[in-house]
Amino acid sequence: MCGRFSITMPSDEIAQLFEAIPDNNLPDVPNYNVCPTVDIHVVTGGSEAPRRLTAMRWGFVPGWYKKSNDGPLLINARAETIAEKPAFREAARQRRGLIVASGFYEWTKTPEGARAPWYIFARSGAPLVMAAVWQVWTGPDGAAQRTCAIVTTKANETTRHIHHRLPVLLEPAEWPLWLGEAGHGAARLMRPAPEDALQVHRVDHAVNSNRAVGADLIKPI
């Protein structure tokens, strides 16, 4: 899975990277400890729509939820079942997006049972672009909210010793297909990243707190 990540690129650079029109309500960056339920940067597009860089709540809310916390917090969607799960299947066909990150965190257990955090990032130093699905959810007050989930798949050899799941990571040539700009066939993109694509290092346990902030969170120890 992916339960936390960092984003250090300025919003205007993200918009330029994706050739997307930026909205005015984008979250503040940098953020070295992006947690579920906060607003994050998401790129949307489609065959008949220009790319937009917009803010969405990280935590997909299905249309039948009466409240945003009416059921499980859906921050990830499994690639293997995304086309079948009622919560995600329509979004997987019609509402796919891209989430950019500088890296993300996963945890292992120490022999003493403590949570040991790891930071996972691109070996090339480039930003990671994660596949996502999104949904507009209307609350009981009639207000519409855009919500999203990160699509995950099996881990590769580089990360399997840390966690058995990994976000679906997409290369620039794959973005149009995932966004629906280049026809059908996005399902074939939902596979583990190449073995040499990622690098990992241990980071300080300070990131175990969802209130922790600052660049020191991603420094190796």
The pLDDT tens digits of the residues spanning 157-201 come to 999 999 999 999 999 999 999 999 998 899 999 999 999 999 999
Which residues are tagged catalytic?
Answer: 2, 106
Do 72 and 88 form a contact (C-beta atoms < 8 A)?
Answer: no
Radius of gyration of the chain (CA): 17
Identify the pLDDT of residue 122: 97
What are the boundaries of each domain within the chain? 4-218
Asked if the bond preceding 192 is cis, omega within 30° of 0, the reply is no
| pLDDT, position 111 | 87
**Which helix (H) or strand (E) element contains residue 166?**
strand 165-167
pTM, entire model: 0.96
- CATH classification number, 4-218, choose in 3.40.50.1970, 3.90.1010.20, 2.60.120.20, 3.90.1680.10: 3.90.1680.10
Instruction: Evaluate if residue 80 carries a pLDDT over 80.
Output: yes
Per-residue tokens: 8: 């250090």
pLDDT score, position 102: 98
The SS3 of residue 9 is: coil
